[in-house]
């Protein structure tokens, strides 16, 4: 069971920029609508026809007080989401100044460093020939724009980046090194990674459809998700979305890109997170799986959930987030955490996007006919990455 002396870590604010729009409300509304489609990527789809992406609409996500070209696409998304999260939590200027910033990203600002086009494709100029620009500058950009003076940490280990970042943020609070942490993940569309996935044969030319028998790979998305994490002292008197109950990491070191078909380390990381959270299989009300839409991932993850949850696996609803917003790479775990916070606050799981035909090798429960009550206020979140990096979190309600 969870040690009683483990300090609580509360979520007091959230922000999101996604293919649904530039606010967390737009994100939740989009999830409730259970309808989403990727679109062509200008300058890339013409050359690589099977590449689509879930892209952020141009609706004012660039901060008004930032000079044109000063921030890359991922940093602009992150700053917009961070400002929303700060306002949602009601942080004052002193709390913001003392806050830490921890942001995960797999691609960073590499989209703006690609040659042969205008930076990230939306008017931001590319660096001059011969100049050097850091790619993983999202966390520092957010800290600089918000004038935070706490620890500033960028985490970049592929698609588990914001999950690992979340664990780092939790540790900062539990060790007493920060009372408030702006934790998030951010990605902007970059052409090279998308084309590379096409070359690997891992890009679905239609839509992201995890656990569907007709799936042909993943489809990427962009955006940012930010959460305000606070100690019990800092969160006192504030409305909370819930608590981060447990987090865990593992590495299977099986293959540079493929998951270990045995799933041993995936089982290990899930059980470790449950143990830290003091929760068992019967306490989990929903799972937000990694669920990328590749057959290797989906089948292995089903086997892992069956091992970890036992008989409860068939009765625990899954929410297939990537079917709505695509695979947001290093931001995926942060988006899943925001989804978990919203589910706990509203007490329900939005309907999944309907499958044409569910893969019989993945008989998970994906409710598709309307919202499902969150019968237990605890959500299990998985995030897995190239290189074998694995992350699991348990998010729970606000009371002990």
Question: What torsion, rounded to 10 degrees, do the Cα atoms 360, 364, 366, 367 define?
Answer: 100
Question: Is residue 33 one of the residues assigned to a domain?
Answer: yes
Q: Three-state SS string across 189-200, please? A: CCHHHHHHHHHC
Scan for tokens 């086009």, then name that residue.
117
pLDDT tens per residue across span 349-372: 999 999 999 999 999 999 999 999
Question: Is residue 274 one of the residues assigned to a domain?
Answer: yes
The residue out of 186, 204, 235 marking a domain boundary is: 235
Q: 126 pLDDT band (50/70/90 cuts)? A: low
Whether 199 and 301 map to the same domain: the answer is: no
Question: Is residue 366 one of the residues assigned to a domain?
Answer: yes
Least confident of 177-186, 276-285, 379-388: 379-388
Strand order in 9-17's β-sheet?
A: 152-155, 100-104, 180-187, 223-231, 9-17, 242-251, 389-396, 378-384, 286-288
- pLDDT of 2 reads 55
Whether 105 and 70 map to the same domain: the answer is: yes
Whether 201 and 255 map to the same domain: the answer is: no
The residue out of 180, 203, 235 marking a domain boundary is: 235
Question: Is residue 294 one of the residues assigned to a domain?
Answer: yes
Q: 113 pLDDT band (50/70/90 cuts)? A: low
pLDDT tens per residue across span 230-243: 999 999 999 999 99
Contact 250, 167 (CB under 8 A): no
Whether 80 and 128 map to the same domain: the answer is: yes
Query: Domain of 266: which CATH number?
Result: 3.40.47.10
- pLDDT of 381 reads 98
Whether 256 and 150 map to the same domain: the answer is: no
Q: What is the mean pLDDT of residues 22-46?
A: 93
Contact 367, 274 (CB under 8 A): no
More confident residue, 333 or 115: 333
What's the domain count of the chain? Answer: 2
Whether 107 and 217 map to the same domain: the answer is: yes
Residue 263 has pLDDT above 60, yes or no: yes
Q: What is the mean pLDDT of residues 8-32?
A: 97
What does each C-alpha distance from 48 to 52, 113, 219, 334 come to in angstroms? 9, 20, 13, 29
Whether 203 and 267 map to the same domain: the answer is: no
Whether 133 and 269 map to the same domain: the answer is: no
The residue out of 181, 212, 235 marking a domain boundary is: 235
Whether 178 and 303 map to the same domain: the answer is: no
First-to-last C-alpha distance (Å) of the chain: 13
Structure pTM?
A: 0.93
Contact 97, 86 (CB under 8 A): no
Greatest pairwise CA separation for the chain in angstroms = 59
State the chain's mean pLDDT as an integer. Answer: 90
Say if residue 357 is exposed, middle or buried (CB neighbours under 10 Å; 0-12, 13-18, 19+). exposed
Question: Is residue 364 one of the residues assigned to a domain?
Answer: yes
- pLDDT of 129 reads 57
- pLDDT of 117 reads 45
- pLDDT of 275 reads 97
CA dist., res. 25 & res. 16, Å (int): 8
Q: What is the mean pLDDT of residues 270-292?
A: 96
Question: Is residue 139 one of the residues assigned to a domain?
Answer: yes
Whether 275 and 223 map to the same domain: the answer is: no
CA dist., res. 30 & res. 63, Å (int): 23
Question: Is residue 4 one of the residues assigned to a domain?
Answer: no
Whether 145 and 281 map to the same domain: the answer is: no
Q: What are the two backbone dihedrals, phi and then psi, of residue 181, each rounded to the nearest 5 degrees? A: -130, 130
- pLDDT of 104 reads 96
Selection from 166, 340, 162 nearest residue 241 by Cα: 340
What is the crossing angle of helices 295-309 and 264-277, to 10°?
50
What does each C-alpha distance from 387 to 50, 260, 335 come to in angstroms? 25, 10, 21
Question: Is residue 378 one of the residues assigned to a domain?
Answer: yes
Whether 105 and 16 map to the same domain: the answer is: yes
Domain around 349: 243-396
pLDDT tens per residue across span 45-65: 888 888 999 999 985 455 545
Scan for tokens 């606000």, then name that residue.
398
């Amino acid at each position: 069971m969870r040690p009683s002396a483990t300090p609580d870590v509360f979520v007091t604010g959230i922000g999101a920029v996604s293919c649904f729009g530039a606010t967390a409300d737009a994100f939740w509304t989009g999830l409730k609508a259970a309808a989403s489609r990727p679109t062509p990527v200008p300058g890339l789809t013409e050359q690589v026809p099977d590449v689509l992406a879930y892209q952020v609409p141009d609706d004012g996500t660039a901060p008004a007080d930032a000079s044109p070209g000063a921030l890359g696409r991922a940093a602009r998304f992150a700053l917009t989401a961070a400002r929303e999260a700060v306002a949602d939590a009601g942080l004052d200027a002193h709390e913001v100044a003392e806050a830490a910033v921890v942001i995960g990203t797999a691609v960073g600002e590499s989209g703006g460093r690609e040659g042969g086009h205008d930076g990230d494709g939306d008017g931001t100029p590319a660096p001059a020939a011969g100049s050097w620009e850091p790619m993983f500058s999202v966390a520092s950009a957010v800290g600089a724009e918000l004038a935070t003076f706490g620890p500033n940490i960028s985490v970049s280990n592929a698609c588990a980046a914001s999950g690992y970042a979340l664990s780092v943020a939790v540790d900062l609070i539990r060790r007493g090194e920060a009372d408030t942490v702006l934790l998030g993940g951010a990605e902007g569309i970059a052409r090279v990674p998308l084309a590379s996935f096409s070359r690997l044969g891992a890009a679905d030319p239609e839509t992201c459809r995890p656990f569907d028998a007709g799936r042909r790979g993943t489809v990427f998305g962009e955006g940012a998700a930010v959460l305000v994490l606070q100690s019990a002292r800092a969160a006192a008197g504030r409305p909370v979305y819930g608590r981060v109950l447990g987090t865990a990491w593992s590495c299977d070191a099986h293959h540079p890109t493929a998951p270990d078909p045995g799933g041993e380390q995936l089982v290990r990381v899930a059980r470790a997170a449950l143990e830290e959270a003091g929760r068992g299989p019967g306490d989990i009300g929903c799972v937000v799986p990694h669920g990328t839409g590749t057959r290797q991932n989906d089948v292995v993850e089903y086997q892992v959930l069956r091992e970890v949850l036992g008989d409860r696996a068939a009765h625990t609803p899954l929410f297939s987030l990537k079917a709505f917003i695509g695979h947001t790479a290093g931001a995926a775990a942060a988006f899943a955490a925001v989804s978990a916070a919203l589910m706990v606050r509203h007490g329900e799981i939005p309907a999944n996007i309907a499958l044409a035909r569910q893969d019989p090798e993945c008989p998970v429960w994906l409710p598709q006919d309307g919202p499902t009550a969150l019968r237990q206020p605890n959500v299990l979140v998985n995030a897995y990455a190239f290189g074998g990096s694995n992350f699991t979190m348990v998010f729970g309600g606000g009371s002990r």
